C-alpha cells in the first residue's frame, strides 16, 4: 500500500462465408510455428483456420496474421475499439485513482489490475506522464484520465457522485478486511513511498489499511491496489462472471 507505505487497420480480405459468431478455434500453434507445440509456442493464437467469422468486431489483419496480444480468449481477433466498447458496456461501477508526483513505476501494474477487474476507469493525479511498461498495453482498453491535482480529481468525483475511498496505513485508518465498501466509489492510492498526500487524505470519505503480519512497514503500491480491488469484487462483482 502506498506509504504503507492504432489504430487497427481494417483493410484485408473480407470473410469468405456467413457463419455464426464462434469462439476462436484453439488449434495448436504448430500451424503457424512449425514444430512448436502449443504449450511451448508464443502466447496467443495463429491465423484463423477455415472460413472467417462475420462481425464488425473482428480485425481482418488479426484473422489473417494471428493474435498475440495480452487479451482473454473471448477477445481474440477483436479490434481494439470493439474490446473497449464491450468492456465499457459491462464495466463495474468503481474507478481507481493513483497519485503520481514522482513518476511512480507502480502505475502500470495498477492499470493492468484495474483492467482485470473491469474498473470503469483509471485516474492519474499529478504528472501526466507515467510508466506504461507494467500495464502490458491494457491501457488501450479502458479510460485513463489525467487530473493535474487532487482538487481536479475531487471536482470530477463530485460531478458523478463517486465517493472517494482512500487506502494507506495511516493513523485512524480502519482495517480493509472488515470494511463494507460502497458499490459505487473511487479507490484512491498514494504515491509509492510518501503515500497519500495531505490533500488526498482530506478529500477521502473513508480511509482503510491492509493489515500486515510480518516485519515490513509497507506493501508495494501495486500489490495493495490489487488487494483492494479484489476486496471490492468479493463484495460486489457477480461470481463466475469473468472474461
Domain hosting residue 170, numbered range: 90-236
Using one digit for the tens of pLDDT, what is the confidence trace for 173-195?
Answer: 999 999 999 999 999 999 877 88
pLDDT reported for residue 10: 35
Residue 131 in any domain: the answer is yes
Higher pLDDT, 238 or 226: 226
**pLDDT number for residue 191:** 83
- pLDDT at position 8 is 36
Based on the fold, state whether residues 12 and 111 are members of the same structural domain.
no
**74 and 16 share a domain?**
yes
For residues 106 and 210, state if they share a domain.
yes
Same domain, 213 and 100: yes
- Looking at the structure, do residues 94 and 190 belong to the same domain, yes or no? yes
Asked if the structure places residue 107 within a domain, the reply is: yes
Predicted pLDDT of residue 106: 84
Q: What DSSP character marks residue 237?
A: S
pLDDT at 168: 95
Shared domain check, 70 and 46? yes
User: pLDDT tens digits, residue range 44-103?
Assistant: 899 999 999 999 999 999 999 999 999 999 999 999 999 999 999 999 999 999 999 776
**Residue range 117-167, pLDDT digits in tens:** 999 999 999 988 887 787 889 999 999 999 999 999 999 999 999 999 999
45: in domain? yes
Are 42 and 149 within one domain? no
Does residue 112 share a domain with residue 42?
no
* Any domain includes 242: no
| Confidence at residue 193, expressed as pLDDT on a 0 to 100 scale | 78
Got the DSSP string for 72-114?
-GGGTTB-HHHHHHHHHHT-EEEEEEEEESS--TTHHHHHHHH
Residue 1 lies in a domain: no
The stretch 27-31 carries a mean pLDDT of 41
Domain identity same for 46 and 120: no
Q: Is the pLDDT of residue 15 over 60?
A: no
Res. 231: pLDDT tops 70: yes
pLDDT at residue 141 in the model: 95
Produce one character per residue of 216-237: b if its CB has 16 or more CB atoms within 10 Å, e if not: eebbbbbbbbbbbbebbbeebb
Q: What is the model's pLDDT at position 241?
A: 61
Q: Which stretches of the chain are assigned E, i.e. beta strand?
A: 92-100, 119-126, 144-147, 164-167, 174-175, 185-189, 206-209
| pLDDT value, residue 132 | 78
Residue 243 covered by a domain: no
DSSP class of 134:
G
- CA neighbours closer than 13 Å in the CB half-sphere of residue 136: 11
Say yes or no: 119 and 219 in one domain. Answer: yes
Same domain, 62 and 120: no
- Mean pLDDT to the nearest integer, 209-224: 92
Residue 132 and residue 202 in one domain: yes
pLDDT for res 101:
75
Please give the average per-residue pLDDT across 13-35, as a whole number: 42
Lowest mean pLDDT among 17-21, 105-109, 110-114: 17-21
The CATH number of the domain where 222 resides is what?
3.40.1280.10
Amino acid at each position: 500500500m502506498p506509504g504503507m507505505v492504432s489504430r487497427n487497420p481494417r483493410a484485408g480480405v473480407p470473410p469468405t462465408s456467413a457463419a455464426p459468431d464462434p469462439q476462436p478455434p484453439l488449434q495448436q500453434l504448430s500451424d503457424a510455428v512449425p514444430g512448436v507445440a502449443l504449450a511451448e509456442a508464443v502466447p496467443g493464437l495463429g491465423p484463423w483456420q477455415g472460413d472467417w467469422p462475420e462481425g464488425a468486431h473482428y480485425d481482418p489483419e488479426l484473422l489473417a496474421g494471428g493474435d498475440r496480444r495480452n487479451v482473454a480468449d473471448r477477445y481474440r481477433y477483436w479490434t481494439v475499439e470493439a474490446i473497449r466498447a464491450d468492456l465499457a458496456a459491462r464495466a463495474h461501477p468503481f474507478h481507481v485513482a493513483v497519485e503520481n508526483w514522482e513518476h511512480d513505476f507502480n502505475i502500470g501494474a495498477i492499470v493492468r489490475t484495474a483492467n482485470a477487474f473491469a474498473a470503469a476507469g483509471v485516474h492519474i493525479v499529478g504528472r501526466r506522464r507515467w510508466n506504461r511498461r507494467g500495464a502490458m498495453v491494457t491501457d488501450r482498453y479502458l479510460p485513463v484520465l489525467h487530473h493535474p491535482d487532487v482538487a481536479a480529481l475531487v471536482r470530477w468525483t463530485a460531478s458523478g457522485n463517486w465517493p472517494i475511498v482512500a487506502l494507506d496505513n495511516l493513523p485512524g485508518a480502519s482495517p480493509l478486511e472488515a470494511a463494507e465498501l460502497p458499490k459505487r466509489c473511487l479507490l484512491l492510492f498514494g504515491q509509492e513511498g510518501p503515500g497519500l498526500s495531505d490533500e488526498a487524505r482530506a478529500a477521502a470519505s473513508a480511509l482503510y489499511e491492509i493489515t500486515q503480519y510480518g516485519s515490513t512497514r509497507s506493501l508495494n503500491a501495486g500489490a495493495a491496489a490489487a488487494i483492494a480491488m479484489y476486496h471490492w469484487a468479493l463484495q460486489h462483482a457477480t461470481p463466475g462472471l469473468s472474461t
